[in-house]
Chain A
């Protein structure tokens, strides 16, 4: 379970202070599929980054399984990202010098998993996202949808409980987007917590729960 307590985030852009998050209190249950929607600049990406341990709040707290992430060191946060969270970006963000299977195996590499194990699991995951025949292709040789599916496989690499998607379908066509959502649905049925940020109402409709954000606040 994840819950936030009075989560606030203030950026300083030159002389101007921007309040990206204001007192966000949110609870997400294990195995839940939640969509966060809202216009750009509403703070949804900031919220996702803080929940995903990529960023730290200015005030307030985030608890992941009762761990106060604000109290953790950089290395401990890296471990949480590695073991408990799978991140999917709008821009896929694959390492372009590595092929699909190597990209999927990368988080396991950082986790110190043995090479044979890594490659075996990476292969299974790629088959699962229907890319069994594209394993040795570099990102540049894959379509946007295919790259995003590699990214999903990579997010699953260390078998995390939480999958975070920041506009995961934002850069792909409808068909590829539907396939990606199907995969996320499937993962949710397998018991994973899915948190997706989107401004596509259709995508949001597939989530079990939808939260709307505006001006750094989560609306009820």
Chain B
């Protein structure tokens, strides 16, 4: 066995450039598949993790999502809707949010920003268990007037000048003092980064309305969320005497549908990655065929001195297997590396934190697939080599 490997190794080394190029094909194929799988596992994990934090949340919006019309908003909620929702059994907390896009001025620069107004005591319902921490400053308080908390991107990216605590923004003609800057959220909570939070009474002033744009509901039992969501829709629709006036979306069902989308996406991406493996296997076949052709004479000699067909077959299969096996190992390393680089890039470009998850079974599977691909694509040339007639092969120069 050791000598067989020696023989194989010498032959691979003898055709160094070609072997490396063939190997490279396998490296790219395996690396692509492993990187894709690791990143999509990481994405799935981070999305479901973020969403499951919100699994007890039901977001109620006035309007309906449909494929024909997109999101169709039919009006807004009233205090009565909010009170009715709070009374539904199983609801832990409900909070109404008043808000919308509004022009905000800072040092002469005007930008449209989403303003969200809610009672400070209701933040728990809006943000859930995971408290949004401050980079600087403090939370809003119930009796605060004309002050605001701003999201990370508002503070750092929206305006030419950085905004900090005690700076003043002009919203709809009134000055608002910044009391807090929130930490960067990113991912599914990236909307928090680009919002300005004010108290509900200030928001009512700004928008000159009593209408509630969104109701955030937290349920006691996650398992009841779907049922409660249905009930919320029914109550509110009754209040407004309209079918389909409201949409109550549970995050739990969002998690499920996202997971199935991810599985499909994974299959699709891996299929694309596998294409490069098919190309690589053609490369192996080609290289092995060339190797067989060039070594016809040598094969003849080996047969003349007593090599059986299966000796020759196994030598060439090993050669293909070793080349693709090494390619597989290097591809695994390259895949892990590529996954890291891509997640860094995703973080830089989209501000989404994804930790690539490299599963050992994926790595081992990748190497195994590489060896298998090598042996399978080496089989035809190897068999061809083993079937050569010794007398003709020896004569071949």
Instruction: State the 5 A-B residue pairs at the shortest beta-carbon distance, nearest first.
Output: A82-B306, A97-B10, A55-B391, A78-B308, A54-B391
B309→A110 contact, CB < 8 A: no
Highest count of chain B CB atoms <10 Å: which of A49, A95, A107, A111: A95
A39 to B314, CA, bound (A): 40
A114 to B359, CA, bound (A): 40
> Which residues of the other chain, A, contact B310 by a CB distance below 8 angstroms?
75
A79→B14 contact, CB < 8 A: no
Number of A residues, CB within 8 Å of B: 32
Q: Is there a chain A Cβ closer than 8 Å to B331's Cβ?
A: no
A87 to B305, CA, bound (A): 7
Q: Is there a chain B Cβ closer than 8 Å to A63's Cβ?
A: no
The secondary structure that dominates the B interface is: helix
Q: Is there a chain B Cβ closer than 8 Å to A81's Cβ?
A: yes
Measured CB to CB, the closest approach of chain A to B7, in angstroms, equals 7
A78→B303 contact, CB < 8 A: yes
> Which residues of the other chain, A, contact B50 by a CB distance below 8 angstroms?
none
A93→B394 contact, CB < 8 A: yes
Number of B residues, CB within 8 Å of A: 25
> A residues 73-125 with Cβ under 8 Å of B?
74-75, 78-79, 81-83, 87, 89, 93-98, 102, 105-107, 109-111, 115, 118
A154 to B301, CA, bound (A): 11
Contact of A106 among B10, B305, B390, B394 (CB under 8 A): B305
Q: Is there a chain A Cβ closer than 8 Å to B2's Cβ?
A: yes
Known contacts A49-B391, A97-B7, A98-B10, A81 near B309 by CB under 8 Å: no
Q: Is there a chain A Cβ closer than 8 Å to B344's Cβ?
A: no
| Residue in chain A with minimal CB distance to B12 | A97
B7→A75 contact, CB < 8 A: no
B308→A87 contact, CB < 8 A: no
> Which residues of the other chain, B, contact A102 by a CB distance below 8 angstroms?
3, 6
Measured CB to CB, the closest approach of chain B to A99, in angstroms, equals 10
Q: List 23 A-B contacts (CB under 8 A).
A: A49-B391, A54-B303, A54-B394, A75-B309, A78-B307, A78-B309, A81-B305, A82-B308, A83-B306, A89-B301, A95-B301, A96-B298, A97-B7, A97-B11, A97-B14, A98-B7, A102-B3, A109-B4, A110-B305, A110-B308, A115-B2, A115-B3, A154-B305
Q: Is there a chain A Cβ closer than 8 Å to B191's Cβ?
A: no
Mask of B363-397 contacts with A, CB within 8 angstroms, 1/0: 00000000000000000000000000111001000
> Which residues of the other chain, A, contact B391 by a CB distance below 8 angstroms?
49, 54-55
